Structure 1
Amino acid sequence: MVFSQPTFLFAFLPLVLGLHLLAPRWARNGFLLLASLLFYAWGEGGLVGLLMGSAVLNYLVGRRIVRAGEESAGGSRRRWTAFGIGANLGLLVLFKYAGWLTGGALAFDLPLGISFFTFQAISFLVDIERRDAEPPRSLGDFALYLALFPQLVAGPIVRYRDLAAQIRERAVTSEAFGEGVRRFVFGLAKKVLIADTLAGPADAVFALGPEALGPAIAWLGVAAYTLQIYFDFSGYSDMAIGIGLMLGFRLPENFLHPYASRSITEFWRRWHISLSSWFRDYLYIPLGGSRRGPARTYLNLWIVFLFCGLWHGAAWTFVLWGAYHGLLLVVERLGAGAALRRAPGGLAVAVTVLLVAGGWVLFRAADVTAALDLYAALAGRAGALAQPLALHANAHVWTAMAAGALLSLPVYPALESRLVARGIHPAARAAGAVATLALLVLTIVGISGQTHSPFLYFRF
């Protein structure tokens, strides 16, 4: 089931929200767990057993970590933590990387969201071992944390310590519910009206062979994908956060206008924040962070982003994408970052977006050869049958690109902060509600006229 599908929008979500509001407080967690498992089983069938098996395993290991701390020295806690991390990574490797590592001899269907709920489970075990989080009251509470349907299949990656108190006790207020509706509608519009519109030219260009590529069509495809992946993924995060608010949860922000960044370092503080902070806290800092001198810092950065690339997918293109971003961060530490900070803001942003877009070529290309062909076209090489722009870019596409470019910048938050500073008149609030309703209607019309387009991060 996908957030932008009519089944979810007009059946599952309204039913879950209504029953959650009507349920007594003591029954809400159990109801949400059942709803989340139904949501997962809708698309994954029997693989829901893997999710529940992961919940049981990590809950029991977490209990052993706590008990080991009460009975003995820290060594036993660390051994149980290492066992739990190894078990989680073993499942991830088996389902996600076995086919790649064995050349296809051993391959399994990739369960939706396995990369996300595996990282959540690992963070739970480490936080319990570090005593940064209290153990859950029950298996049901922990299973709800791991399976909570708004963010189950594509994040944000939520730490147990950030959700534990909300699982134990939360309230659904009219103000938060209204904020959640607005956030959900805005995210749905980003997905349907911008990301799905740009998916057409992006998919078409990345599927072309070198003979059909030319500079103009190559730049169109890269620009379309650069905007598509942002509005697709941030749209999902907005919807997840919005549904969370309607259920009484406050999930962490995952995007803060990353294409307004003035450096790659700043980009990774704004893009997929829950993932980059996870790697910082559970890999970069344990490796030594920046505490062991410049050379070790650069190596640690590179290792982290190699793993970040691998986390996204079992392919050499993802490994190279991670290595590319790790190299960019090292180059910034060596002095390029200071130069960008001294440059005019618009120039620094343009350079950063160009570098990020160059990386998206590796991220999206079917293989390394296809990526090299596209790079050659971006640099000016034109094939004998290079296709014209008009074949893939109509007025609808150009409008979506223009809207995407504008909304990638913090224009709306700046306008909203000005209105808040001046004191929003009730009429302005009513106008906002009408605008949200109009956007929802426009989005529903868009859904009815498009074929189903899954979220890009579902395959990770």
Structure 2
Amino acid sequence: MVFAGVEFLFYYLPIVMLVYFISPKKFKNLILFVSGLIFYAWGEPLYVCVLLLSTLIDYFAGIIMDKTDSTAKRRACLIVSVVMNLGLLFVFKYSSFFINTVNSVFGTSIPDPGLPLPIGISFFTFQTMSYTIDRYRNKVEVQRNFINFGAFVTCFPQIVAGPIVKYSDIAKELDSRSVGTSDLSDGISIFMCGLSKKVLLANSIGDVWAQIKACDYSTLPAATAWLGIIAFTFQIYFDFSGYSDMAIGLGRMLGFHFPKNFDYPYLSKSVSEFWRRWHMTLGSWFKDYVYFPLGGSRGTKAQTVRNLLIVWFLTGLWHGASFNFVLWGLWFGVLIVIEHLGFSKILAKLPAAVSWLYTMLAVVLGWVLFETDSLGSAWAYLGAMFGAGGAFADSQFTAWLSECALILAICIFFAFGAGREYLAKLGGSDSKALMVVKPLVTGALLIACTAYIVNGGYNPFLYFNF
């Protein structure tokens, strides 16, 4: 089940919200827990067991930690939690990649189990581990109520594609929260902004990328190659930030305040700044649970470089089990290291437009690694971008550019912050006039999105693959 689908919008969500709001306070977390399991089981009935296993492991790890003062026993609980969760990730997400790599390098014939990837496993394992790690550090109180902990893990707004909500982010709201009319109104508006990003912008600009991606890269004109990857640059932003907005909006309707996940990343003037604005909750997770424990930037320059490269290697690997993702992570890791070693000071002195162009070029080139199917495809596409395909442009490029010119202009308008004030106002309720306009705009967006969804069918999010 996806947010941008008829089943969710007109069946699942209204029923869950109705039951949630008419139920007594003491049953609300139970409703969240059960509805989250139903939401997950809709597409992954068998893998609900994996989700529940991760939930049980971390719940009992927290309970045992609370009942002992022994540092050794608490550490053992933490190790079990981390090893089991990372073990689940390895078995389902990385085992095929590992086996195929070993077979290729050593000429062995280890059978590949070919296990399907449980939706959202990279997200919910990181979320549950945040609880046990912070519990070990005594940064959060133990959650004794299994239903409450289950509601945290299976909360349907963010279970399959984030934001990555750490237990500490919503610990108090799990035990006590309320939903006022402003929360409900703002939540609906934020949700509709996200749905519109996904359905009206990401899907539309993504159609152009899908056509160009299917071309023969050896003869692809440079202008067409650039148009394609720029289209994907906007597609992935509106797709992923749209999902995050929808999750945040749904959370607000349920009384939760999930952390922000995007802050206009394409306005960044350095790669480091880009990653402070893009998928912010993933960056926060790696900073708190990997980078700082490794020593952060407190040691020598060599140690800091090592720590940064480890984090970015893991960031790439988190996104997917392929050499493309590993190199994509290391690409950004190397650039951030260079900036950390002094290039950031040079960027700060350059004209803002130059720093921005450098950042966007780095990001766009990175998306080629991220989106292509293999290193060979990535290399071929990069070659096409820089003229290896022969011609600079052809009639097909002109046709595609004409086809997407309007949607491209709209994407630029919103992605680069020109619509920031409008979106901020739509997500708030500061004036009486806005209170009248907001429902009208929200209703119009719902009608437009529904028409697109009904006509277009299934609308999966790109980050469902992770």
Residues 225 and 385 of structure 2 are in contact (CA less than 8 Å); yes or no, is this contact kept in structure 1? yes
Cα 1:192–1:394 shift into 2, 3 Å: farther
Q: Which amino acid aligns with 1:61?
A: A
5+ unaligned residues in a row in structure 2: which ranges? 101-110
Partner letter of residue 234 of structure 1? S
Question: Could you say which residue in structure 2 is the equivalent of 1:102?
Answer: 99
Equivalence for 1:41 = 41
Q: Structure 1 residue 348: deviation in Å?
A: 1.8
SS of equivalent to 1:26: helix
Superposed displacement of residue 209, structure 1: 2.4
Work out whether 1:388 is the aligned partner of 2:396: yes
Per-residue deviation, 1:338 = 1.3
Partner of 2:10: 10
Structure 2 counterpart of 1:205, from 203, 208, 212 = 212
Q: Is the 8 Å Cα contact of residues 134 and 161 (structure 1) preserved in structure 2?
A: no
CA distance in 2, matches of 1:420, 1:7: 25
Q: Is the 8 A contact 2:189 2:426 kept in 1?
A: no
3-state SS, counterpart of residue 388 of structure 2 = coil
**Aligned pair partner of 1:80 in 77, 80, 89:** 77
Per-residue CA deviation, residues 403-431 of structure 1 (Å, 9 max, x unaligned), is: 1111112233345779999x954223312
The superposition leaves residues 191-226 of structure 1 with CA deviations (integer Å, 9 ceiling, x where unpaired) of 001101122121222232223411011001110110
- Letter aligned with residue 435 of structure 1: V
Aligned residue number for residue 66 of structure 2: 66
Count, aligned residues:
455
Superposition pairs of residues 228-377 of structure 1, within 5 angstroms:
228-377=235-384
The share of aligned pairs that are identical, in percent, is 40
**Residue 454 (str. 1) matches residue 451 (str. 2):** no
Write the distance in 2 (CA, Å) between the matches of 1:272 and 1:455.
Answer: 15
**Contact 2:209-2:231 within 8 A present in 1 as well:** yes
- Alignment counterpart, residue 441 of structure 2, candidates 414, 435, 446: 435
State the 1:389 CA deviation: 1.3
Separation of aligned partners in 1, 2:443 and 2:219: 43
Is 1:189 matched with 2:196? yes
Q: Which moved more, 1:34-43 or 1:374-383?
A: 374-383
2:135 counterpart of 1:128: yes
Q: Distance in 1 between matches of 2:114 and 2:131?
A: 28
Question: Deviations 1:256-291 (Å, cap 9, x if unpaired)?
Answer: 111111111111111001000100110011111101
Distance 2:178 2:198 in 1: 29
- 1-structure distance, mates of 2:402, 2:242: 23
Aligned to 2:233: 226
Matches of 2:112 and 2:144, distance apart in 1: 42
Shift of 1:18: 1.2
* TM-score, length-scaled by structure 2: 0.93
Aligned CA distance change for structure 1 residues 81 and 177 (closer, same or farther; 3 Å)? same
Task: Report the 3-state secondary structure (helix = DSSP H, G, I; strand = E; otherwise coil) of the residue aligned with 2:419.
Answer: helix
1:394 offset after TM fit, Å?
4.3
| Distance in structure 2 (CA, Å) of the matches to 1:38 and 1:27 | 16
- How large is the Cα RMSD of the aligned pairs? 2.0
Cα distance in 1, alignment partners of residues 186 and 371 from structure 2: 34
Q: Tell me, in whole angstroms, the C-alpha distance in 1 between the residues paired with 2:85 and 2:422.
A: 44
Shift in Å, 1:398: 2.0
